Structures are given as C-alpha cells and as structure tokens.
Amino acid sequence: MHPVSEIIRSRRAVFEGSYTGEEIPATVLDEILENANWAPTHKRTEPWRFIVYTGQARQELSDLVGGAFKKFTPPDAFSEIKWQKIAQKPLQASATIVLLMQRDPKLSLPEWEEQAAVACAVQNMWLTCTAYRIGAYWSSPGFLVNHGQELFDLPNGQSLLGLLYMGTTREGQWPAGERGDWQEKVVFKE
C-alpha cells in the first residue's frame, strides 16, 4: 500500500479527551496551513481563510464559544454542563483553526464549489495532522456557524464553516476505523 493510502485510511476524528495539551511545533503548524493552501480550487479563487488560535489566545476563543452558546441557545435547550464542555474545548486543544470561506466577489462560480474547496483544504490539514499523529476534528455547531459574521467580525463575503480542533495525542489513543466495501458504492460502465 502506498504511504498516502495509509494516511488517508487512518484519518479519524480524534477528540480532546485524547489530547495531551502539548503545543504543536510551529514548523508543523506552518506545514498544516501550507498544505491547506494547495487544495483544489476552481477558477483559482482560493476561498479558504483561517484564524488560528494557539497559546494564550485559546482563552479568547473559549470565551467567545462559551458566550455564543449562552447567547444563542434557547433556554429549554441550554445546559450548564454542556456550556462548560463547549467552553473547555479550545483550552483542551493545542490549536484551533476557525474555518472561513471567502466568496468570490465576482460570483464566478456557485457557492457550493467554494465550500467544497474549503472542505478540501480542511481535508489536507486533517491528513497532515494524521501524518504527524495530531488528533483533529471538524466541529460546526449551529450556534457558531449561524452567527459567524457577528462573532468573528467577518468582512463581507466571508462565512464561518466551523472549527478544526487539533491536539497532540497520547500514545495508543488513535481510534480504529471502519468502512463498508467500496465496491458496493460504485457502478462501473464499460
């Protein structure tokens, strides 16, 4: 099996319970972001934009996420325990990347294509994390995504697609994966 196939097949959503709290080396974080920049992009719009929270800035994101949950969650759905858990996530992660999409001002292609390009950029980041055994997962709670413009003071044409939480992992904390048979999902025409 080719090494890239091994990385693709071992990519998993790895959550904060498996994180050690150690920093991700700056050179690795740079590589993660550089690889995101090489995602496919129709008409070369390169719609991905990121805000990276590390170190002390994680508290700022924790306050923002926790505050958004309190503000935008209906009283009957609010839970103090859930609020605390949500607010802790940025503090448990080594780094959190806010995933943004910058819409092409010319509207030269459908919005879904630009969302797909950002998703490809996220997949590149996630695969790079996997290669370094950095746990990661994409979170897109409605209370954040629906209010991203306001919460992150985004310029016109930018929208929030979620957060990529990342953390160094403990040895042996990588989950196994499962997939059905790919042949049951493909039709060949010859």
Residues 6+ apart with CB under 8 A from 28: 132, 134
Closest CA to 54 of 16, 15, 22: 22
Give the per-residue pLDDT at 117.
98
Which amino acid type is present at position 34? E
What is the mean pLDDT of the segment spanning 11-30? 95
Confidence of residue 138 (pLDDT cuts 50, 70, 90): very high
Kindly calculate the radius of gyration of the chain based on its CA atoms and give it in whole angstroms: 18
Express each pLDDT in 56-100 by its tens digit. Answer: 999 999 999 999 999 999 999 999 999 999 999 999 999 999 999
Which numeric CATH code is attached to 3-173?
A: 3.40.109.10
Predicted TM-score of the model (pTM)? 0.94
Give the per-residue pLDDT at 171.
77
Give the per-residue pLDDT at 72.
95
Strand 48-54 versus strand 134-139 pairing type: unpaired
Distance CA 163, CA 63 (A): 15
- If you average pLDDT over every residue of the chain, what do you get? 95
What is the mean pLDDT of the segment spanning 32-53? 97
